[in-house]
Amino acid sequence: MSDRRTFLQVAGMTGLGSFLAKPAWADEGQTLQATDLKITEVKITPIALPDPPILAASGCHGPYFLRNILEITTEDGIIGIGETRGGLKRTERLQAAAKHVVGQSAFAYRGFPALLADAAANDKAQSTSDPAVYAGLELACLDAIGKASGQSLSRLLGGPVRDEVEFAAYLFFRFAADHPRVFDDVHLKDDRGRGDRALDQWGEVRTPEAMADMARQWNERYGFKAMKLKAGVLPPDVELDALKAINDVFGGQAPLRIDPNGRWTIETANRIARDLQEMPLEYYEDPVRGQEAMTAVRRETGLPMSTNSCVTRFDHIADAVKNEPVDIVLCDHHGWGGIPACQALGTLADSLGWRLSQHSNNHAGLTMAAMTHLGAVTPQIVHSSDTHYPWLVEGADIIEGPNLKFVDGKLKVPIAPGLGVNLDHDKLARAHEIYQKCGMRERNDSVTMQRFEPGWTRDLF
């Protein structure tokens, strides 16, 4: 099976040279005070990257997913890079936040949330107080500090506690990349086509057999061991059969996860759980919506439960301590407010008896590197992390060189200064051009799904 290796005709070479430059203070043999990393410019580039028609409780993914890329320039000439969630609203918030951050030192990033909260209070029209805005800025500051000090991001943050970070297979039901409805989409603005010109070659995966075959191939291709089935798409019994078929492929040896994204009723979740109890289930992820419903399923089934929906902020923790809805929290540095925030969550998790994994939405290589560093500096991440990265076809990432490669289901923790990946500005410019042309400005999976299945709504199963 081959993805479109030359997507957008982009190619590059890995280049660590620019990371290996001497720190700005090294010439004079001075201390770190010699550089203040005062921010002179924050550049925000919204981008659209190709996405296949994968399915979730929210509907079907559109032809592109959106991200925002940050480049902060400092007085010392060092440029820090970052990536965060996409969408026009967030681009506008980032642009508003940028104005307040210019003139600050990149070393002082922990002061930015307060600075941005004050700014938001004074300017209600432009909410800069958004954890994903802060997380993008923080990442770019950490990258700049890493480059200035010659240290990798994970060394800066007290690690690495592991040299490699393990990821799980993130298996979605899906339509074929050349399903006719894909080409009806007015947003589509690249030269993908049918057959061997399709975005990818996985074909349609909407049966237990096709899903089990894809799981086998993901294990062979990437080495992933844990298998996460994105559910809440087909009737729950079909999804249960798909999980059983995956289990059979691995002879009962692969840790399994199933995530219906809260689209099941408590009754359905409890009924399906009876079969899950017979399988090597690592955890039951958000089968139902909200802490109280999750608590009801957890009490009834006794299964380990995880979430990226009902405990997603620090101010959800007090209720979670009371309700006990979960055993595992999927942290996400864009949602929890940065990498050190997720480390703090790890400390809390230790005392609450929780374990951590990482949540993912579609992302590019800067986030992939950031998630790897986060996995390396957070000992409580003991479950392999989610990532959508394998869905990003070769050549479509915006980093220099080929897409990052999983070996044995793992990525090596980058050791070059900062994030350890470089932006390829040609690829970035193309991804920005697609953003401008495609007209997508926010994610809307239900509208895309209604083009495949007119009248589709997100009813509960």
CB 401 within 8 A of CB 27: no
Q: Which stretch binds ligand GKR (CB under 6 A): 22-30, 31-39, 121-129, 359-367?
A: 359-367
According to the binding rule CB under 6 A, does residue 334 interact with ligand GKR? no
For residue 24, which phi and psi values (nearest 5 degrees)?
-60, -30
CB of 458 to ligand GKR, least distance (A): 12
The 306-325 contact track toward Mg ion, x by CB under 5 A, reads --x-----------------
Peptide bond into 160 cis (omega under 30): yes
343 is an interface residue for ligand GKR by CB under 6 A: no
Cα Dmax for the chain: 69
Is the CB of 168 or the CB of 245 nearer to ligand GKR? 168
- How many residues would you count in the chain? 461
Give yes or no for residue 83 binding ligand GKR (CB under 6 A): no
DSSP helix/strand/coil, 65:
strand
Does 261 engage in binding with ligand GKR (CB under 6 A)?
Answer: yes
Q: Which residue from 337, 259, 366, 349 is spatially nearest to 305, judged by alpha carbons? A: 259
Q: Give the x-and-dash track for 47-66 against ligand GKR (CB under 6 A).
A: ---------x-x--------
By a kind-dependent CB cut-off of 5 to 8 A, residue 332 interacts, out of Mg ion, ligand GKR, none, with none
Nearest to 332 by CA among 319, 323, 345: 345
360 binds ligand GKR (CB under 6 A): yes
Contact 117, 129 (CB under 8 A): yes
259 sits near ligand GKR (criterion: CB under 6 A): yes
Site pattern 367..386 for ligand GKR (x: CB under 6 A): -------------------x
Residue 168 within binding range of ligand GKR, rule CB under 6 A? no
Those residues whose C-beta lies under 8 Å from the C-beta of residue 71, and which sit 6 or more positions away, are: 42, 43, 45, 79, 80, 81, 140, 423
Tokens describing residue 253: 């040896």
Residue nearest to ligand GKR (CB): 56
Q: From the candidates 179, 230, 333, 410, which is the catalytic residue?
A: 230
Cα-based torsion angle of the residue sequence 335, 338, 340, 345 in order, rounded to the nearest 10 degrees = 0
The number of C-alpha atoms within 13 Å of 305 and in the hemisphere containing its C-beta is 33
230 catalytically annotated = yes
From 100, 333, 359, 410, active-site residue = 359
β-partners of residue 256 are 227, 281
Using CB under 6 A as the binding rule, whether residue 217 contacts ligand GKR is answered as no
Residue number, 247 or 308, with CB nearest to Mg ion: 308
Going residue by residue from 279 to 318, which x/- string records binding to ligand GKR, judged by CB under 6 A?
-----------------------------x----------
Q: Would you give the binding string for Mg ion spanning residues 245-284, x where CB under 5 A is met? A: --------------x-------------------------
Question: Alpha helices, DSSP H only, in 175-265?
Answer: 180-184, 208-222, 236-249
C-alpha 355: how far from chain center: 19
First to last CA, the chain: 34
Residues that bind ligand GKR (CB under 6 A): 56, 58, 230, 259, 261, 308, 359-361, 386
Catalytic residue IDs: 230, 359
Residues that bind Mg ion (CB under 5 A): 259, 285, 308
